């Protein structure tokens, strides 16, 4: 499961970075993590089982992205800026609702469970969980792999992509659907794990370049290996398991700061 989660977050982050032509974009840019988190928090607050919590988290992630996409359709097209701004709005709103549920939750029973889930963990994973999310991850990942060469065209800009005969609106929808499926499935079973979808594509880009035909498959491998290492560290560094979200932030934030210094803020410098 650690490898599937890492691969899912990495491939969605790499796809979104190419589609939005922005190196600061991550897998949760459209509010999927906040939506999944809200779904899980609602389930936990009302005593839902583990399976119900995972289903609610998955549905919440899909709902958040759907709302963000509909908000961006103020115009007949979906410019990248509108999508990003819509995702920020939806993510902030859903995060506020999460805070509200935490505020009213029972501080002795529900609140600790909510907080621990939101920090990310794989300690309660079972084979049934693996089978539950493998389908959405496979479908979403396959979509992104199949259109990976077209993401190269999107990264050139909508006008140039359309001049080459690409239906940019349809392609964006396919990328959003694929990335949302894999990210929602990952967050549903692991909680909110940040920085993976942001940092791993950059590391992979430094190794294999910016061609998404190679970058997307390489991100899958790098993300899977990275999350497996992080999960091993979380279980062995201390006697109590460290939440994954803490470790990924501790490792990812300093590395990203180094990356910014190394590239002088230029995405092209890291290719």
CATH number at residue 144: 1.10.3470.10
User: Would residue 144 count as lying in a domain?
Assistant: yes
The packing angle between helices 2-20 and 127-146, to 10°, is 30
User: Would residue 56 count as lying in a domain?
Assistant: yes
User: Would residue 33 count as lying in a domain?
Assistant: yes
CA–CA separation, 118 and 100 (whole Å): 14
Count other C-beta atoms under 10 Å from residue 169's C-beta: 13
- 52 with 39: CB under 8 angstroms? no
CA–CA separation, 60 and 33 (whole Å): 9
User: Would residue 266 count as lying in a domain?
Assistant: no
pLDDT average, residue stretch 222-236: 95
Cα within 13 Å of Cα(219), Cβ side: 34
pLDDT digits (tens, 9 = 90+) for 124-141: 899 999 998 999 999 999
Give just the sign of the alpha carbon dihedral 114, 118, 122, 125: positive
Is pLDDT of 24 > 60?
Answer: yes
User: Would residue 228 count as lying in a domain?
Assistant: yes
pLDDT average, residue stretch 200-217: 92
pLDDT digits (tens, 9 = 90+) for 70-114: 888 776 555 777 888 899 999 999 999 999 999 999 998 999 999
User: Would residue 261 count as lying in a domain?
Assistant: no
User: Would residue 241 count as lying in a domain?
Assistant: yes
User: Would residue 268 count as lying in a domain?
Assistant: no
Query: Range of 97's domain?
Result: 2-255
pLDDT digits (tens, 9 = 90+) for 244-254: 999 999 988 89
Residue 135's H or E segment, with its range, is helix 127-146
Please count the structural domains in the chain: 1
């Amino acid at each position: 499961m650690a490898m599937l989660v890492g691969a899912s977050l990495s491939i969605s982050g790499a796809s979104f970075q190419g589609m939005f032509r922005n190196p600061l974009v991550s897998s949760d840019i459209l509010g999927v993590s906040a939506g999944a988190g809200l779904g899980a928090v609602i389930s936990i607050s009302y005593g839902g089982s583990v399976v119900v919590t995972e289903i609610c988290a998955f549905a919440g992630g899909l709902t958040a992205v759907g709302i963000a996409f509909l908000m961006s359709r103020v115009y007949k097209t979906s410019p990248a800026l509108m999508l990003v701004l819509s995702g920020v709005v939806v993510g902030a709103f859903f995060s506020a609702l999460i805070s509200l549920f935490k505020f009213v939750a029972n501080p002795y029973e529900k609140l600790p469970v909510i907080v621990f889930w939101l920090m990310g963990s794989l300690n309660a994973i079972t084979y049934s969980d693996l089978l539950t999310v493998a389908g959405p991850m496979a479908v979403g990942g396959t979509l992104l792999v199949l259109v990976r060469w077209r993401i190269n065209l999107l990264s050139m800009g909508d006008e140039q992509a359309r001049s080459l005969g690409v239906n940019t609106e349809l392609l964006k929808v396919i990328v959003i659907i694929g990335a949302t499926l894999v990210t929602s499935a990952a967050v549903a079973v692991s909680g909110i794990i940040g920085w993976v979808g942001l940092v791993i594509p950059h590391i992979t880009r430094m190794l294999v370049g910016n061609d998404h035909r190679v970058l997307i498959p390489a991100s899958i491998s790098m993300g899977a290996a990275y999350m497996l290492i992080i999960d091993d560290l979380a279980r062995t560094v201390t006697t109590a398991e460290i939440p994954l979200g803490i470790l990924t932030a501790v490792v990812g934030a300093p590395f990203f700061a180094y990356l910014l210094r190394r590239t002088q803020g230029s995405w092209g410098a890291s290719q």
